[in-house]
């Protein structure tokens, strides 16, 4: 119904039951440094005034659902029409090569994985990304995209702004969602860090080679050792078969030496 000067009163959004609402009912929305940093980045793109339009939507439960996947956040937001609008926020994900460098840098300092598991994100993590020539949060609007199915052509609209606030509060609860948005899920990242920090197992000594059994197929064609073919022959030792006679006392009979007479006989027997 038009007022006295012919303009229409502002339409009110349709109230919904069971929508997502912010825990913060007044004042600042972001509670941690990383979620505040996310909102500051958006405000630095000239969105501050328009973001504030979505606070009421975020606090009164107009956002019906919010889902986060690699590089994309999708929300269904009820506005002034019965059918909810679809709001999407996209970010450029890091490449596989970028993530390999990030994972090695994070694995070098165990404190990062420990803090993340405790639900915290150390501020120094931004320095890790900066040293690699990357930024944890979008640095320009070229890394960020926003669109909504509502007729409002300005970005962000109320529905996108409400989505941004709920996303920031979701980052408050789980900082891994920021990394998942950039392309690495919690499970994949932790598994990779665990593998990189695992001690390298010592190389086991190689087992000594054993000769195959004599009756095996391999031993049949193997070249035998010389000692197995030609046995060692002891060197000949010079022997005197009549040496035993030299150990006897001289025996003389009728003027003749019995020892000398027996010596040719011993030699003949030895031959």
**Tokens 């609007």 label which residue?**
141
104 confidence band (pLDDT: 50, 70, 90): very high
Residue 139 lies inside a defined structural domain of this protein? yes
Residue 178 lies inside a defined structural domain of this protein? yes
Residue 238: per-residue pLDDT:
47
Long-range contacts, 42-48 (Cβ 8 Å, 24+) = 42/156, 42/164, 45/141, 45/144, 47/155, 47/156, 47/161
Residue 43 lies inside a defined structural domain of this protein? yes
Residue 158 lies inside a defined structural domain of this protein? yes
pLDDT in tens, 222-231: 555 544 444 5
Give the number of domains in the chain.
Answer: 1
**pLDDT over 70 percentage in the chain:** 73
Higher pLDDT, 234 or 22: 22
Residue 110: per-residue pLDDT:
81
**Cα dihedral 103→107→112→116 (10° resolution):** 60
Mean pLDDT of 204-226: 55
Residue 245 lies inside a defined structural domain of this protein? no
Residue 246 lies inside a defined structural domain of this protein? no
Residue 40: per-residue pLDDT:
92
Mean pLDDT of 212-223: 53
Residue 270 lies inside a defined structural domain of this protein? no
Mean pLDDT of 193-215: 66
Residue 206 lies inside a defined structural domain of this protein? no
Mean pLDDT for the chain overall: 81
Residue 115: per-residue pLDDT:
86
Does 257 have pLDDT greater than 60? Answer: yes
Host domain of residue 153: 33-197
Can you read off the two tokens belonging to residue 132? 């690699």
**Poorest-pLDDT segment among 27-31, 37-41, 69-73, 134-138:** 27-31
d(CA 104, CA 128): 10
């Amino acid at each position: 119904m038009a007022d006295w000067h012919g303009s229409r009163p502002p339409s009110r959004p349709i109230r919904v039951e069971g929508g997502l609402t912010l825990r913060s009912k007044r004042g600042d929305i972001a509670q941690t440094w990383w979620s505040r940093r996310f909102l500051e980045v958006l405000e630095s793109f000239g969105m501050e005034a328009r973001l504030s339009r979505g606070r009421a939507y975020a606090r009164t439960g107009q956002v019906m659902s919010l889902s986060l996947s690699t590089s994309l956040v999708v929300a269904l937001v009820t506005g002034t029409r019965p059918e909810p609008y679809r709001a999407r926020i996209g970010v450029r994900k890091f490449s596989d090569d970028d993530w390999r460098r990030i994972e090695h840098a994070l694995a070098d300092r165990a404190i990062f994985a420990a803090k993340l598991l405790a639900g915290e994100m150390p501020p120094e993590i931004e320095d890790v990304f900066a040293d690699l020539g990357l930024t944890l949060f979008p640095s320009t609007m070229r890394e960020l995209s926003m669109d909504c199915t509502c007729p409002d052509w300005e970005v962000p609209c109320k529905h996108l702004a409400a989505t941004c606030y709920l996303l920031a509060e979701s980052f408050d609860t789980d900082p891994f969602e920021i990394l998942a948005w950039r392309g690495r899920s919690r499970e994949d990242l932790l598994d990779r860090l665990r593998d990189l920090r695992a001690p390298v197992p010592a190389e086991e000594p190689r087992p000594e080679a054993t000769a195959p059994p004599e009756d095996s197929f391999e031993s049949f064609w193997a070249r035998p050792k010389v000692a197995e073919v030609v046995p060692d022959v002891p060197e000949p030792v010079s022997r005197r078969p009549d040496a035993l006679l030299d150990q006897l006392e001289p025996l003389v009979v009728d003027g003749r030496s019995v020892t000398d007479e027996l010596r040719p006989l011993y030699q003949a027997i030895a031959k």
